[in-house]
Chains A and B, each alone.
Chain A
Amino acid sequence: MHNGHMKVCRVALLGALAVSLTQFSSAMAAVDGPTATVAVKALNFLQPKPAKPTPVTIVTDPGQAAAGEAIKSALGADVTAKVVDGAGDLSGAVAIVVVGGADVAAKASTGQLVIGDMACMTAGKCALAVERQASGAAKYHVNTAALAKAGVSFDKNFQMLVTAH
């Protein structure tokens, strides 16, 4: 009986934890198609402004190419995307979208904007992350140190609208 009660408590606690995690999902979730679609809109505000369609490379964890392909298919006509894993070639891309845990910071060239999830941005491995809200509004989070290190700069009006970290 006592064990059963503990089990119920554990389940309840796990449930509560799951609910809590769900509430933070928009901030913590890996980049998906809709989020990447919003994120690449930031490319319109790069200085200097790149030509369209803008080349973007999607980097996935090994064996997760399907997730990358899903994102690729979600992106609009303003970008041309390819999917690679962490060992893939990043040259030629104006932006790199990181899906999963790959760390491309060291591998990315100067001038390449690395986009990832909030954890990646907070850790400084990515320069940009997007938080989508239920209302349809979006919040762009920028790790200013990572952005400066990458040699990337945004139009000043856009820069004043982002949330800097």
Chain B
Amino acid sequence: MKKSILLGATALLAVGAQAQTIDYSALQDAFGQPVTTSATGKPQVASDAPAALRIITAAEIKASGLDNLPDVLNRYSGMDLLRWGSGSADVAVRGYNQGSYPRLLVLVNGRQVYNDHFAMVVWNTIPVQLPEIKQIEIVKGPVGAIYGFNAVAGVVNIITVNPLYDETGTATLRGGTDGKREANMVKTLKLGDRVGVKLSAGYKEQDEFDKGNITAVERSRLTGPEANYVSLSGLTQVSDNIQWGVELSRSYSFQTNYNTTNSYLAIKYVAESAKTDLTIDAGSIGLVNLMAYRNKMDFNYLAFGASDVTTTVVQLSDLLQVGSDHTLKFTAEYRRAEMDRWPSPGATIGYDVFAGSTMWDWKVSDTVSFTNAVRLDMFSLDYSGGLSSPWTLADYDRDMTKISYNSGLVFKPDAINTVRATFGMANQLPSLLELGGYYIVGAIPTVGNPHIDPSRITSFELGYDRAIEAINGRFGITAYRQHTKDLKTFTGGVADRVTINRILTQTMVNAGSSSSWGLEADVNGALAGGLTYSASYTWTKINDDLTVNRGINATRPIKFEDATPAHKLRGGLGWSQDGFSADLGLTWQSDRYLLRPGTGTLTGFQVPTKVDSFITGTATVAYSFPTGTELRATASDFLRSSTAATAALETERRLYVSLSQSF
């Protein structure tokens, strides 16, 4: 009796984090599967999400033996990798990949790392070390009603360990062929029960690829990628109902990029960010979140010039459960993006976006749920500084309002079957460069276009998932139809010159439409003896209806038909026992045609260049000592010395050894 009273007294002492923010580890442990908010903005177990969703766990990332995010993402169906160099790559969801791919929104803990100047993701500047990733959530298909402009092909949300809930400490040294050297560390610290801090940092360098059919000018621009990172974040339990977080990061990368005109440029990036968010359990009002962040990226294209782009976002949301069957989320957002005109300075172009959105998740019955979300984005363009021909100030006085919509019906007749039907409509905002941030002085001005329209992407999708006890795994298949209206293209050649305000000009334009069909099938599971397996098939068929490039030769750097492999097969086999582990990943893809500038200049033709079908693979073996030390050897793209995976530099075989220590 006395013992019970003592225990009771202990229990009444509330301790530690109250979890206004999501405790991914504890929820996954409880529900036996990963939990996500990426599909709708509300917490859901992965199998309930009304979207083609793939959650890559920390264990899967580690088991792959890979050392970079693009290669990790490329192991999954629906993903497409164009590796341009040892430090640069573009990752696409459901086709349409190209240099400086603009259709994918990538987030780190909800903060965009997608850059608004070229509307692209510079993967090598993302200030995250792989050991600090809790999970990567890939949502395939447009989710504009949840995320706004730019979430058109999908969203990749990188979730890192939470310093208030998770304890981790890892230091890694890595070295390998072709000058590969890397060191990184991540450490969380608990300062009492109510404050958690995380520090991560890293450095890496490697020689650039060498083989491949590129021009002498391009070759002169190649540089071995070098990058460093530091990130500091903290989360504190201010009171039982309030959590406050801060994240600061800085990264530097010097690398060779493959740009929108399909040629190589050496670029130095410095990316800095500051983010704060307040999460409040407001009782019957719901879970209220106020988030604000600012991203700044300095970029220096060594052959052209330097500039910077800044994005500021303030977002207020309320997630509210009404009764047991309805969940609502209301979001208001302000966004400001601006950049100094590039490569000819002297002006600033920017825009404000005021947005409001609502998500309604309705549990219709024990087996059916119906989710709808709608978002309104109100956009206003502005320009300051010296005006240059051909545009006038009136051309930059542009406002527009766009609606995005998502709807999903999920039918789960039992614990093993899930059927999913979704519809999405999202808008892809032109980049700041496309809107007028791009300006080259000359007799023929080469400029952005403030009148260019956003692309609109619509998608219909049908999916089926089944847990299969006999194989201790699951099978999933998704078919979709996607349509893109008002594609955008960068400046073209001589044939594309137009007269604007009586001045002969080269500029960006809308370029017609494109439609695609696709199918993604996956099976994965675990076998006895520590074996895991996975296999997937991706089919993509794209039909362009372009209003440019109608002559014999393409003059604009845009052509999606045949640019995505029609077929991709992937397979993976893993094994882990008694401290030993091994993993093999293989990918085969059919041929594709990628544009290359015929003369290597902006004014030349763009030539469709065949990339033959190929098979490539990565293998890794590791041993973990009881002391927390892991020794690992990895061979990526190991089947041959180099693989022509694009129409430019070939992807070279890389061998590296990693030594990690937990602390």
Cβ of B443 < 8 Å from any Cβ of A?
no
Given contacts A156-B20, A156-B319, contact A91 B43 (CB under 8 A): no
- How many whole Å from A152's CB to the nearest CB in chain B? 13
Report which of A51, A82, A131, A137 forms a contact with B15, defined as CB distance below 8 A: A51
Contact in complex: A50, B11 (CB < 8 Å): yes
Contact in complex: A44, B287 (CB < 8 Å): no
Inter-chain CB contacts under 8 Å: number:
131
- How many whole Å from B530's CB to the nearest CB in chain A? 16
Q: What CA separation (Å) do A140 and B45 show in the bound complex? A: 12
Contact in complex: A160, B14 (CB < 8 Å): no
Q: Chain A residue with minimal CB distance to B24?
A: A157
Within 8 A of A (CB), among B1-37: 1, 3-20, 22-23, 26-27, 29-33, 35
Given contacts A54-B11, A164-B324, contact A41 B30 (CB under 8 A): yes
Q: What CA separation (Å) do A91 and B6 show in the bound complex? A: 10
- How many whole Å from A149's CB to the nearest CB in chain B? 15
Contacts of A137 in B (CB 8 A): 31-33, 45, 47, 415, 467
Contact in complex: B18, A55 (CB < 8 Å): no
Q: What CA separation (Å) do A134 and B13 show in the bound complex? A: 37
Interface residues on chain B, number (Cβ under 8 Å): 49
Q: What CA separation (Å) do A49 and B45 show in the bound complex? A: 22
Cβ of B44 < 8 Å from any Cβ of A?
yes
Contact in complex: B469, A134 (CB < 8 Å): yes
Contacts of B327 in A (CB 8 A): 160
Q: What CA separation (Å) do A145 and B13 show in the bound complex? A: 26
Within 8 A of A (CB), among B423-453: none
Cβ of B240 < 8 Å from any Cβ of A?
yes
Q: What CA separation (Å) do A89 and B1 show in the bound complex? A: 8
Q: What CA separation (Å) do A139 and B26 show in the bound complex? A: 14
Contact in complex: B287, A156 (CB < 8 Å): yes
Contact in complex: B416, A135 (CB < 8 Å): yes
Contact in complex: A135, B474 (CB < 8 Å): yes
Given contacts A133-B415, A138-B32, contact A92 B6 (CB under 8 A): yes
Within 8 A of A (CB), among B465-518: 467, 469, 474
Contacts of A139 in B (CB 8 A): 31, 415
Contacts of B44 in A (CB 8 A): 160-161
Q: Chain B residue with minimal CB distance to A47?
A: B18
Cβ of B286 < 8 Å from any Cβ of A?
yes
Contact in complex: B4, A161 (CB < 8 Å): no
Contacts of A45 in B (CB 8 A): 19, 26, 30
Cβ of A94 < 8 Å from any Cβ of B?
yes
Contact in complex: A160, B416 (CB < 8 Å): no
Contact in complex: A49, B30 (CB < 8 Å): no
Contacts of B29 in A (CB 8 A): 41
Cβ of B42 < 8 Å from any Cβ of A?
yes
Report which of A48, A82, A92 forms a contact with B18, defined as CB distance below 8 A: A48
Q: Chain B residue with minimal CB distance to A44?
A: B26
Cβ of A67 < 8 Å from any Cβ of B?
no
Report which of A89, A94, A135, A163 forms a contact with B32, defined as CB distance below 8 A: A135
Given contacts A155-B18, A157-B22, contact A92 B32 (CB under 8 A): no
- How many whole Å from B25's CB to the nearest CB in chain A? 10
Report which of B3, B13, B17, B30 forms a contact with A42, defined as CB distance below 8 A: B30
Contact in complex: B11, A94 (CB < 8 Å): yes
Contacts of A133 in B (CB 8 A): 32, 415-416, 467
Q: Chain A residue with minimal CB distance to B8?
A: A92
Contacts of A156 in B (CB 8 A): 20, 281, 286-287, 319, 321
Q: What CA separation (Å) do A149 and B18 show in the bound complex? A: 22
Q: Chain A residue with minimal CB distance to B48?
A: A161
Given contacts A55-B4, A137-B47, contact A49 B16 (CB under 8 A): yes
Q: What CA separation (Å) do A93 and B8 show in the bound complex? A: 6
Contacts of A93 in B (CB 8 A): 4, 7-8, 11
Q: What CA separation (Å) do A72 and B7 show in the bound complex? A: 16
Contacts of B18 in A (CB 8 A): 47-49, 155
Q: Chain A residue with minimal CB distance to B42?
A: A160
Contacts of B281 in A (CB 8 A): 47, 155-156
Contact in complex: B4, A89 (CB < 8 Å): yes
Within 8 A of B (CB), among A54-87: 54-55, 80, 82
Within 8 A of A (CB), among B224-268: 240
Given contacts A42-B30, A44-B26, A135-B474, contact A144 B287 (CB under 8 A): no
Cβ of A127 < 8 Å from any Cβ of B?
no
Report which of B17, B286, B324 forms a contact with A49, defined as CB distance below 8 A: B17
Contacts of A42 in B (CB 8 A): 30
Contact in complex: B30, A138 (CB < 8 Å): yes
Contact in complex: A135, B467 (CB < 8 Å): yes
Contact in complex: B43, A55 (CB < 8 Å): no
Q: What CA separation (Å) do A101 and B502 show in the bound complex? A: 88
Q: What CA separation (Å) do A149 and B6 show in the bound complex? A: 25
As a 0/1 sequence over residues 29 to 60 of chain B, the CB contacts with chain A under 8 angstroms (1 = contact) are 11111010000001111010000000000000
Given contacts A156-B20, A157-B22, contact A55 B10 (CB under 8 A): yes
Given contacts A156-B286, A160-B43, contact A138 B31 (CB under 8 A): yes
Within 8 A of A (CB), among B316-363: 319, 321, 324-325, 327
Q: What CA separation (Å) do A13 and B5 show in the bound complex? A: 53
Contacts of B27 in A (CB 8 A): 157-158, 161
Q: Chain B residue with minimal CB distance to A48?
A: B14
Cβ of A150 < 8 Å from any Cβ of B?
no
Given contacts A160-B42, A161-B31, contact A49 B15 (CB under 8 A): yes
Q: What CA separation (Å) do A33 and B324 show in the bound complex? A: 29
Contacts of A82 in B (CB 8 A): 4
Q: Chain A residue with minimal CB distance to B22?
A: A157
Q: What CA separation (Å) do A160 and B469 show in the bound complex? A: 27
Contact in complex: B20, A38 (CB < 8 Å): no
Q: List 23 A-B contacts (CB under 8 A).
A: A41-B26, A44-B23, A47-B18, A50-B14, A51-B13, A55-B4, A92-B3, A92-B5, A92-B7, A92-B9, A133-B416, A134-B415, A135-B467, A136-B32, A137-B31, A138-B32, A140-B30, A155-B18, A155-B19, A155-B281, A157-B19, A157-B27, A165-B324
7 tightest A-B CB contacts, nearest first: A48-B14, A164-B324, A92-B8, A92-B4, A55-B7, A137-B32, A41-B30
